[in-house]
């Protein structure tokens, strides 16, 4: 008798529960619908891949963010390309218009024969000047690293008032930053013989490229570094004729050293807001090259990080956070 009394009650409860399920499911689905405006905002942060012709050269570039937002121009180093910024770009694109080009001979940009094109830092600055004009970038902040530093600083000498802020990452502008690593390069600069050129070819093999990514990285962060990064760089270096291009650029780097006083005068005169994030274990551009910036930019913010040359590979989120804080404090959106 007791069992028969419970059955109707239990059945009634189960029916009630079953009837409530579609309503609950419908409510949950409705709550997760994303509005068209939100989807459009999310789409603006997607990275876009474009090419523009500057002085007869196809310049490939990555771009993300709203074009009306403050612009951040990312200039890459050796032996890489704009791919070094592949993770940083979407990290910043919700607040900034982020653009990263490849120089000729690097990445997806043109690679003309050296007999038909001058591979030099002066020429790269010419092309970046034309690039910013073509994209109508009248003012922007610059992130410069390695080769990107002399290219960017040459650009700044031409358009000093276009520079809203500087983010400097293992990019040299002082003699103090050229230590023993550069001795073999100085030999070539002093005496441009085949005998002095050939030893530099050793910097263009896959072992050397991997070393640039992994040297100086603490054990705790080595697993953050994707082998795809150096293998992609190496694939571009291994293109027929590319090694000679790189060796020509090694020789031309001496012209950047000659301009160090001009770069330093730009810093002293314009005093752009500056963030310095530097991998202190970098053997190519060691920490000795970071601190001299403070002589000419006493208000610069300096972070020496336990990292190597490619700090974005091992400490990308940390650097992105520092950039956000710095730019939000120094730029008016």
Coil, strand or helix at 298: coil
Note if the bond before 79 is cis, omega within 30 degrees: yes
Reading the block at residue 282, the tokens are 């970098």
What is the distance between the alpha carbons of residues 242 and 111, in angstroms, rounded to a whole number? 8
* Annotation says 221 is catalytic: no
Q: Which one is catalytic: 97, 215, 283, 309? A: 309
Is 109 within 8 Å of 59 (Cβ atoms)?
yes
Decide: helix, strand or coil at residue 166: strand
Non-local (6+) Cβ contacts of 167 within 8 A are 72, 141, 142, 143, 144, 274, 275, 277, 323, 326
d(CA 5, CA 319): 68
Q: What share of the chain is helix, strand, coil (3-state, %, to 5)?
A: 55, 15, 30
User: How many angstroms separate the CA atoms of 175 and 289, rounded?
Assistant: 8
Residue 137: closest CA among 116, 122, 152, 147: 152
Question: What amino acid positions are annotated as catalytic residues?
Answer: 309
């Amino acid at each position: 008798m007791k069992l028969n009394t419970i059955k109707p009650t239990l059945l009634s409860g189960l029916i009630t529960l079953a009837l409530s399920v579609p309503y609950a499911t419908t409510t949950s689905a409705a709550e997760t619908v994303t509005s068209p405006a939100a989807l459009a905002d999310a789409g603006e942060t997607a990275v876009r891949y474009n090419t523009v012709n500057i002085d007869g050269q196809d310049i490939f570039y990555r771009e993300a963010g709203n074009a009306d937002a403050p612009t951040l121009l990312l200039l890459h180093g050796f032996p890489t390309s704009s791919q070094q910024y592949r993770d940083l770009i979407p990290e910043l694109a919700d607040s900034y218009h982020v653009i990263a080009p490849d120089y000729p001979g690097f990445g997806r940009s043109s690679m003309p024969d050296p007999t038909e094109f001058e591979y030099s830092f002066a020429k790269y600055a010419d092309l970046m000047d034309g690039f910013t004009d073509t994209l109508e970038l009248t003012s922007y902040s610059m992130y410069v690293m390695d080769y990107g530093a002399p290219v960017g600083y040459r650009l700044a000498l031409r358009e000093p008032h276009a520079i809203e802020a500087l983010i400097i990452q293992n990019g040299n502008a002082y003699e103090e930053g050229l230590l023993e690593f550069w001795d073999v390069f100085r030999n070539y600069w002093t005496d441009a013989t085949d005998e002095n050129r050939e030893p530099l070819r050793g910097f263009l093999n896959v072992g050397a490229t991997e070393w640039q990514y992994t040297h100086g990285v603490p054990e705790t962060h080595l697993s953050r570094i994707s082998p795809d990064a150096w293998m992609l760089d190496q694939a571009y270096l291994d293109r027929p004729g590319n090694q000679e291009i790189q060796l020509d650029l090694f020789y031309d780097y001496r012209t950047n050293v000659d301009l160090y006083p001009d770069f330093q005068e730009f810093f002293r005169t314009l005093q752009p807001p500056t963030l310095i994030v530097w991998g202190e274990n970098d053997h190519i551009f060691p920490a000795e090259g970071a601190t001299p910036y403070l002589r000419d930019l006493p208000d610069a913010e300096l972070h020496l990080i336990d990292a190597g040359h490619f700090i974005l590979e091992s400490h990308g989120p940390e650097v992105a956070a520092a950039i956000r804080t710095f730019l939000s404090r120094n730029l008016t959106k």
